[in-house]
Amino acid sequence: MSGVSCADQTPSFEKTWGSSTSSGYCSEEDSDSELEQYFTARTSFFRKPQKQKLSEKDEVTESKKQELSHSEIQQKIKEYNAQINSNLFMSVNKDGTYNGFIKVHLKLVRPVSVPPPRKGATSQGPANGKKGGAVKRRTSFYLPKDTAKHLHISSRTRAQEVIQALLKKFTVIDNPAKFALFERTERHDQVYLRKLSDDECPLFLRLCAGPNEKVLSLVLKENETGEVN
């Protein structure tokens, strides 16, 4: 629209309409009526959309992107630890980073692949003196429902590294790109899921939200953005 309002365009429109009425295409009464209808429709069509206010969800997301000062981090960790009923505390390092625990719930629909169980002390060398590539074998199984895992991580640990650590804990050999870490929040009896980007730091989200998992919990799910081998 180039910043041009409907009022700025009215004079040129009236000039065009006046030349039409003088040519005998419509009466003066019809001209006034149709002009009013046309202008009303035109105004509603070209009206600039009002800037939408940030929803509560967007505001929460924006607030989490803000960086905290060293003193703010210390204060938040102090408040966080005061709400903990276990030994899963957070601690501040001299360099300003901090360590702590996160709990990740695994909500996987499809089976995962793990290495096949070893049968005794089988030889890994080539059979019959012939050299050949090892055959990759894997076993697939479904993780039990309500599976969860605690991880001790740093404030610098990114979501992608958390996914890799979880797969290693469960000896899953699938491509880490098949999975994604989600932030689950509950507000006003509504549940919201937000996919974390690879470079987001889950411990920072945990610190900002506090230890209450109804406020925020972390969930590992399948990555549905595309096919990954």
- Same domain, residue pair 6 and 102: no
Q: Does any domain span residue 20?
A: no
Q: What does DSSP assign to residue 212?
A: -
Q: Report whether pLDDT(6) > 60.
A: no
| Total residue length of the chain | 229
- Same domain, residue pair 30 and 101: no
Pair of tokens at residue 28: 């003066």
Q: Does any domain span residue 191?
A: yes
- Same domain, residue pair 100 and 7: no
- Same domain, residue pair 215 and 161: yes
Residue with token string 């899963």: 88
Q: Which of 91-95, 132-136, 176-180 has the lowest mean pLDDT?
A: 132-136
* Mutual angle of helices 202-209 and 70-82, in 10-degree steps: 60
pTM of the model: 0.65
Q: Does any domain span residue 130?
A: no
Q: Does any domain span residue 148?
A: yes
How many domains are contained in the chain?
2
Domain range for 47: 1-15+26-51
Q: Which of 51-55, 172-176, 181-185, 196-200 has the lowest mean pLDDT?
A: 51-55
Q: Report whether pLDDT(61) > 50.
A: no
* CATH code, 80: 3.10.20.90
- Per-residue model confidence (pLDDT) at position 224: 83
- Same domain, residue pair 38 and 86: no
**Residue 170, C-beta contacts closer than 8 angstroms, at least 6 positions apart:** 112, 114, 143, 149
